[in-house]
Structure 1
Amino acid sequence: MSLLFLAHRVPFPPDRGDKIRSFHILQHLAARTRVHLVAFADDEADHDPPESFTRMLASCTIVPRDKSRRRAAVEALVGGKPVSLTAFANRRIAAAVAAVRERHPIAMTFVFSGQMAQYLGPDEPAIMDFVDMDSAKFASYAEDSSGPMRWMMRREARLLGAFERDVAARVSASLFVSDAEAALFRAGGAQGRVLAVENGIDSATCDPAAVSPEAIAGPLILFTGQMDYRPNIDAVTWFARDILPIVRRRHPARFAIVGRAPTAAVQALASDDVIVTGAVDDVRGWLAAADVCVAPLKLARGIQNKVLEAMAMARPVVASAPAAQGIEHAGTIRVADDAEGFAARICDLLDDPVAAAALGTAARAQVIARYGWDARLAPLDALLP
């Protein structure tokens, strides 16, 4: 049997949330069958992945994604389609998919991320990994927008929701990263088999004993993530402006924002008290140096890899309820949703380093017990032909 794996980003290197999940799923499937990968690259470094990655594949086709957001929006408005789909509509990808199907006996297609479902044939066996319910994300964006942008976000939510339901009715199974996302999808009228396949964590790689901490003076509060992603931008902006000043009344803490592609709005947060790093070679050094890791996301879908990574690195975590949702943390995450509460939880941990360290140790133990990738991805085996 051969399997076609479609991905909206090359699943390597596994250094951001979606690529971590897609990499481990791809690796899991490639250990069981021949896998042909067709994927977009939206970064120069992704155009030519190393042999250490491609050797597990039967074939690998990567196409640059160079369509501008403006062009995608115009095409969507003219064609009556979601922008999320027109942004990933590409003749070279369509041709690559057709070529793989013509040359190889494909028994099933695994689609990673809803944008790639447009390349499915009408009757082919397929598994659809939506990861999160994107239509619900855009509905949330609409609530925080106004004027033409509010109309655009509502339109995207409506059209994308209809597309998601249509895809779910055609595939063998629709996967989501958490039970909450799967339940939300069912409640929205989705038909077919809807399952939760949770994210895991590589606790051997995320091991504080194997990493040298970055040399950062003073108490360090850390946020990690892709910094051109709107929920992350909103989170660090809220933290830097509303939460950090409260913390600094009691502790001379610094806030580090670690992640690639920081927007101008994120870079503008940089100060003596706020560090904006951009991309780093190894985020584990920053995690190892952190006194507290935070996830103050007001909009969060599914399970947050940034939280699992911090827990695996034995860091105490303070998170919003949306960011903690879906993670079985057994009380090892401190949860708060307003600025005063967030600051209070952080200050409590900075006040008592021994208790904070014990909380981090318990968090790592919980991750090891509950979130190994092999166990999380085992349900995929029953879906293969």
Structure 2
Amino acid sequence: MKLFILLSRIPYPTEKGDKLRAFHQIRILSEHHEITLCALSDIPAHPDAIRILQQYCKRIEIIHLGKSGMVLNVLKAFLSGKPIQAGYFYRASARRQIHDLIDQTKPDHIYCQLLRVADYVRDLNVPKTLDYQDVFSKGMQRRIVSSPWWKKALFRLEYHRLLSFEKEIFNDFDNKTIISAPDRELIPHQDNKEIVIIPNGVDHNYFSPMERPKTYDLVFTGNMGYPPNVDAAEFLANHIFPQVLKVQPYARLLIAGATPHSKVLALRSDNVAVSGWVIDIRESYASSKIFIAPMRIGTGLQNKLLEAMSMKLPCITSPLANSALGAKEESEILVGSSVIEYARLIIQLLGDKEFADKIAENGHSFVKDKYDWKKSTAMLEDLFKSNHQK
């Protein structure tokens, strides 16, 4: 089949969840299909991006979204009733380019990632799949609670608009996909059971156990400019970790990941390291005894948990994050619901190596069995074929 894949970001490097998902899906789909990749971008492409993506794509088109038009587009979205998430990425000129490219390549199927790009192709009479991936409306609703008072009104408005838009675009696509079952239930459409669950995977050959000196007791990773990760980092460093230090005064915490927000950089101390971008994130996992992701806002599956479990670290997370992951509590993962509970679990793992090894081993087996890019992308491929055969 000839596939046209439309993304809101260039899927390399893979430091963000949507880019990671798209990259591996493209990599595997390219084994049997001809791919035209069209990616929007509001920043310059990474120097290696085109070279790496050309291995998998017959044609690559990057549509650069100039910064000068973004304020105007956000304003247009605000006045038109569209969510900012959609308006920020929309340009009439980009729409013309995308339609011209589709006319030239004549794809058998169009695959769109995230509602941000839905407006570009929703009216085309070509079989189409929309990957909701996460539920943006629910993520925005959770941000309202933790946001400063002066942002609450804007976030509340965006929440209602996202809710409406997620429902509005549903019937414009032949297929809909999402990462997890709990998120599927949150899509505000009466037929949300039609959405096919396509989980993420993890590259088990790459994220495999590594022997390294344990420089840190705890590690938390992710894109540290992303609000749910910023919130989790602050919660961890300012509230959970001080309770651990009361019992383990020499404990050390590593917060690792790209584009750290100023709030994250401010967490640095004698016991807390903030690394920023690291060339090989595996080194951050391997240098730590425990992985923790105390997520309080956001939606979707946490790739960081898949990677840490694949590297055989004992993991602690929140009920919110584990609802998407689906690991067995007290066996494959530990789940905390409060500052005191998180601290207790950390101290328990640090003090009981046999217990820590059991959680790590069980978690490793769980993620190897359930989360595999080839298996999940095969499900996506079957979905495309079902439309092609009609």
Aligned residues: 380
Look up the match of 1:165. Answer: 167
* Kept after mapping to 2: 8 A contact 1:207/1:312: yes
1:65/1:360 Cα in 2 relative to 1: closer, same or farther (>3 Å)?
farther
Once the two structures are superposed, the pairs formed by residues 262-277 of structure 1 within 5 Å of their partners are: 262-277=260-275
1:51/1:255 Cα in 2 relative to 1: closer, same or farther (>3 Å)?
same
Look up the match of 1:98. Answer: 99
Aligned-partner residue type, residue 38 of structure 2: V
Aligned-pair distance for 1:91? 4.2
* Kept after mapping to 2: 8 A contact 1:247/1:346: yes
1:191/1:361 Cα in 2 relative to 1: closer, same or farther (>3 Å)?
closer
Look up the match of 2:369. Answer: 369
* Kept after mapping to 1: 8 A contact 2:82/2:165: no
Report percent identity of matched pairs: 27
Q: Helix, strand or coil for the counterpart of 2:10?
A: coil
Aligned-partner residue type, residue 318 of structure 1: I
Could you state the TM-score of these two structures normalised by the residue count of structure 2? 0.91
Choose which of 287, 290, 311 in structure 2 pairs with 1:289: 287
Q: Helix, strand or coil for the counterpart of 2:355?
A: helix
Q: Helix, strand or coil for the counterpart of 2:119?
A: helix
Aligned-partner residue type, residue 233 of structure 1: V
Q: Helix, strand or coil for the counterpart of 1:44?
A: coil
Aligned-pair distance for 1:48? 5.5
- In structure 2, C-alpha distance between the alignment counterparts of 1:148 and 1:13, rounded to whole Å: 34
1:227/1:71 Cα in 2 relative to 1: closer, same or farther (>3 Å)?
farther
Aligned-pair distance for 1:64? 3.1
- In structure 1, C-alpha distance between the alignment counterparts of 2:158 and 2:247, rounded to whole Å: 44
Look up the match of 1:243. Answer: 240
Look up the match of 1:152. Answer: 154
Q: Helix, strand or coil for the counterpart of 1:269?
A: coil
Aligned-pair distance for 1:240? 0.6
Aligned-pair distance for 1:253? 1.1
- In structure 1, C-alpha distance between the alignment counterparts of 2:111 and 2:229, rounded to whole Å: 28
* Kept after mapping to 2: 8 A contact 1:168/1:174: yes
1:192/1:253 Cα in 2 relative to 1: closer, same or farther (>3 Å)?
closer
Q: Helix, strand or coil for the counterpart of 2:108?
A: strand
Look up the match of 1:135. Answer: 137
- In structure 2, C-alpha distance between the alignment counterparts of 1:101 and 1:317, rounded to whole Å: 44
1:47/1:285 Cα in 2 relative to 1: closer, same or farther (>3 Å)?
closer
Return 5+ residue gaps in structure 1 as ranges: none
Aligned-pair distance for 1:250? 1.5
Q: Helix, strand or coil for the counterpart of 1:106?
A: coil
Aligned-pair distance for 1:376? 2.1
Task: Please list the CA deviations of residues 47-70 of structure 1 after superposition, one character each: whole Å capped at 9, or x if unmatched.
Answer: 651423212112101133443775
Once the two structures are superposed, the pairs formed by residues 46-61 of structure 1 within 5 Å of their partners are: 46=46, 49-61=49-61
Aligned-pair distance for 1:159? 1.5
1:37/1:50 Cα in 2 relative to 1: closer, same or farther (>3 Å)?
closer
**Would you say 1:24 and 2:24 are equivalent positions?**
yes
Choose which of 173, 176, 190 in structure 2 pairs with 1:174: 176
Aligned-pair distance for 1:96? 2.9
Q: Helix, strand or coil for the counterpart of 1:165?
A: helix
- In structure 2, C-alpha distance between the alignment counterparts of 1:50 and 1:98, rounded to whole Å: 22
Aligned-residue CA RMSD in angstroms? 2.0
Once the two structures are superposed, the pairs formed by residues 63-212 of structure 1 within 5 Å of their partners are: 63-67=63-67, 70-122=71-123, 123-145=125-147, 147-185=149-187, 188-189=189-190, 193-209=194-210
